[in-house]
Amino acid sequence: MTNNLRHDSSYRDPSGHVFVENNTIKRVIFPSYFPQYNKLKNSGFFEKAFQHKLLISHEELQNTETEIYIQPEQIPFITYPYEWSFQQYKEAALLTLKLQKYALQNGFSLKDATAYNVAFYKGNAIFIDTLSLDFYQENTPWRAYKQFITHFLGPLLLSKYHGAEFLKTMSNFIDGIPLKMIASLLPKSTKLNPFLYTNIHLLAKYENKHQEEDVKATKQASLSQKGLFNIIDSLYNYIKKLQLKEQSEWGNYYQKTNYSDKAFTQKSKIINNWIQQLNAKTVIDVGGNDGTFVREINSKIDLALVGDIDNNAVDQNYYAVKKNKETNMLPFVIDLLNPSASIGFQNTERFSFVKRVKEFKPDATLALALIHHLSLTGNVPFENSAAFFASFSGHLIIEFPKRNDSYATRLLNAKAEFKDQFGHYNLENFEKTYTNHFQLVDKKEIPDSERVLYLLKNKNA
Amino acid sequence: MHFLYFDAGLGAMLVQALVAIVAGVVLFSKNVMFKIKTIFGLHKNTSDQDVFDDINIDDSQIENPSKDDK
């Protein structure tokens, strides 16, 4: 197991790294981290943290004098911070604080606190970087404090004041939003809030003032454990209550504006039959809104990825996941016209959405009430959208709103004098182009609507 | 033992002493306000909307906590 391939995102921490062997994620630990690892294991901390669902569980594969190998529980699909909704982002932040407090109570401390240490799995945020746990040393401040602010508090605050779209900028700041930027983008009034003044403005000022000095002076910085608990508790309380300015009330978000009740029922019935016919266990709904149609599926689904461009819809979906304690639904924010790119060193640290979804290979892809947005709002030709769907889906369930559908008409009218150039947006062209990549398995008109549902099978799958 | 594999920031380490003092005052005053509001029945119950629980972990929730991790 020594000649393993190190995962491209796992080079920052010298204590060990992640590698992939036979499509399984494993982790090698080096002797420099043995004391921590053994203490975490023998004190029962690992076991307790697994049971509290704070830390991803792992089993030890091999333990030699030079290397320890562990295999964490495998997470089928990773979403990144810039694909989280506001409430998901909050949960990730709160989980990090919760784990840090629990670690401190047991004599440990998180040595880093990046948003990439958290993943969503079985309906909850979970900490996935096992090697982030280090010994706590009496009277030392939290090493990862600044990281927590630039990865969590900063982005959350900026979303509160400027909208949840701000979270997407995390893809440009892989090491967190720079402190100066957070401080300068926040309204002046935040300086009057003692919590925000100290955690953001004063921190930015101190960092600026001391940036040229020798790091060794850190040894002078001291903080009692009580003080540390105060910081963590106050961060937790503040973030827990944080709400977006534009936040709408929780509740039934799905708007059936284009559907009569009959059309809605028929549509979900058709989808249900097809999903059962395919015996699909993994599903991706690429324009899934708040997950309404995935929840209407009666057969057992192992994992449903439900993406939507609207942060608010994803928040609603996430709220339903929490309330119903669903473990097989993963909501995330995605703009299909500009899906997350590969980022980081050599562009290989965080994978693009397309790469991840290709690896995930869902049994069925749902694209409901989406094609008119891609084709008319995004001007994406049928040929290109068909090729996109064909690149990762074995089966595609796609809904086509005809030209006289009220929403499609609205989008066409918005084209004003260019409306004539969108004559290609019709059922015949759609079928003709999509059947270049897919075989038409079934086709059903949704009663009481101007929409048609297609079940397509990938010709190359 | 510390691995300085990323810069924790000297300013960020020093400032925590001040952040902690302010946090202590804020927590204390919130606590007092909470008690006052509870006494006068002004405390709004928002638990219906809340999906996030408290920061504190209750170890007694664990069934058969095992002392040694296999």
Q: Which of B2, B3, B48, B61 to mutate to test the interface with A (most CBs of A within 10 A)?
A: B3
Nearest CA in chain B to A45: B69
Residue A149 C-alpha, separation from nearest chain B C-alpha, in angstroms: 10
pLDDT at A8: 73
Percent of chain A scoring above 90 in pLDDT: 82
Number of A/B CB contacts below 8 angstroms equals 168
Which residues from chain B sit within 8 angstroms of residue A14, using beta carbons? Answer: 3, 5
Q: For residue B65, list chain A residues with Cβ-Cβ distance below 8 A.
A: 44, 47-48, 51
Is the Cβ pair A213, B25 closer than 8 Å?
no
pLDDT computed for residue A154 by the predictor: 98
Pair type for strands A438-445 and A118-121: unpaired
Joined tokens for residue A80: 């990144």
CA distance B49 to chain A (A): 8
Q: Do B11 and A210 touch (CB under 8 A)?
A: yes
Please say if the pLDDT value at position A57 is more than 60: yes
Q: Which residue has the tokens 């993994």?
A: A282
ipTM associated with this complex: 0.80
Q: Which whole number is the average pLDDT over A125-147?
A: 96
User: Shortest Cα distance from A262 to chain B (angstroms)?
Assistant: 31
Smallest CA–CA distance, residue A432 to chain B, in Å, is 47
The answer to whether the CB atoms of B11 and A41 lie below 8 A apart is no
CB A167 within 8 A of CB A182: no
B62 vs A: CB within 8 A? yes
Contacts of A214 in chain B (CB under 8 A): 10
Q: Is B60 part of the contact surface with chain A (CB cutoff 8 Å)? A: no
Query: Quick one: pLDDT band at residue B33, thresholds 50, 70, 90?
Result: confident
Q: Does B69 touch chain A (CB under 8 A)?
A: yes
- Model confidence pLDDT, tens digit, residues A282-331: 999 999 999 999 999 999 999 999 999 999 999 999 999 999 999 999 99
Distance CA A34, CA A412 (A): 64
pLDDT for the residue B69: 41
Q: Which residues, including other chains, have CB under 8 Å from residue A426's CB and lie 6 or more apart?
A: A402, A403
Residue to test with chain B: of A94, A198, A199, most B Cβ within 10 A:
A198
pLDDT single digits (tens) A62-85:
999 999 999 999 999 999 999 999
Whether residue B23 and residue A230 make contact (CB cut-off 8 A), yes or no, is yes
In this complex, the residue of A52, A235, A250 whose CB is nearest that of residue B57 is A52
Say if residue A108's pLDDT is above 50. Answer: yes
CB contact under 8 A, B17 and A221: yes
Q: Measure CB to CB from residue A218 to each of B10, B18, B27 and give the nearest one.
A: B10
- B contact test, residue of A89, A99, A207 with most B CBs within 10 A: A207
First CA to last CA distance, chain B? 25
Q: Please state, in angstroms and rounded to a whole number, the distance separating the CA atoms of residues A155 and B11.
A: 20
- pLDDT score recorded for residue B66: 47
pLDDT in tens, A151-160: 999 999 999 9
The interface residues of chain B toward chain A in range 16-45, judged by CB-CB distance below 8 A, are: 16-27, 30
pLDDT class for B9, splitting at 50, 70, 90? confident
Dist. CA A351–CA A330, nearest whole Å: 18
Q: In the prediction, which pLDDT does A318 show?
A: 95
Question: Which of A69, A136, A66 lies closest to A102, judged by CA?
Answer: A136
pLDDT at A46: 97
- B46 interface with A at CB cutoff 8 Å: no
- Report the share of chain A in percent with pLDDT over 70: 95
Give the 3-state secondary structure of chain A: CCCCEECCCCCCCCCEEEEEECCEEEEEECHHHHHHHHHHHHCCHHHHHHHCCCECCEEEEEECCCCEEEEECCCCCCCCHHHCCHHHHHHHHHHHHHHHHHHHHCCEEECCCCHHHEEEECCEEEECCHHHEEECCCCCCCCCHHHHHHHHHHHHHHHHHHCHHHHHHHHCCCCCCCHHHHHHHCCHHHHHCHHHHHHHHHHHHHHHHHCCCCHHHHHHCCCCHHHHHHHHHHHHHHHHHCCCCCCCCCCCCCCCCCCCHHHHHHHHHHHHHHHHHHCCCEEEECCCCCCHHHHCCCCCCCEEEEEECCHHHHHHHHHHHHHHCCCCEEEEECCCCCCCCCECHHHCCECCHHHHHHHHCCCEEEECCCHHHHHHHCCCCHHHHHHHHHCCCCEEEEEEECCCCHHHHHHHHCCHHHHHHHCCCCHHHHHHHHCCCEEEEEEEECCCCCEEEEEEEECCC
Flag whether pLDDT at B65 surpasses 50. no
pLDDT(A204) > 50: yes
Measured torsion, CA atoms of residues A304, A320, A155, A350, in degrees rounded to the nearest 10: -10
Q: Which residues in chain A have their CB less than 8 angstroms from residue B66's CB?
A: 44, 47
Q: Averaged over A101-114, what is the pLDDT? A: 96
Q: Give the residue among A402, A365, A406, A405 at the shortest CA–CA distance from A386.
A: A365
Token pair belonging to B38:
């509870």
The overall average pLDDT reported for chain A is 92
The whole-number pLDDT of residue A212 equals 74
Give how far Cα A157 sits from Cα of A114, A151, A196, Å: 16, 11, 9
Report the residue of chain B nearest A36, measured CA to CA.
Answer: B1
Question: Which residue of chain A has the CA closest to B8?
Answer: A143
pLDDT digits (tens, 9 = 90+) for A26-47: 999 999 999 999 999 999 999 9
* A128: nearest Cα among A112, A141, A142: A112
Note whether B14 contacts A13, CB cutoff 8 Å.
Answer: no
Q: Once rounded to an integer, what is the mean pLDDT over residues B6-16?
A: 86
Three-state secondary structure readout of A256-307: CCCCCHHHHHHHHHHHHHHHHHHCCCEEEECCCCCCHHHHCCCCCCCEEEEE
Under the banding of pLDDT at 50, 70 and 90, the label for residue A423 is: confident
Q: Per-residue pLDDT tens for A218-272?
A: 557 899 999 999 999 999 999 999 998 765 544 455 554 567 888 999 999 999 9
Closest CA to A56 of A75, A78, A35: A75
The chain B residue lying nearest A207, using CA atoms, is: B11
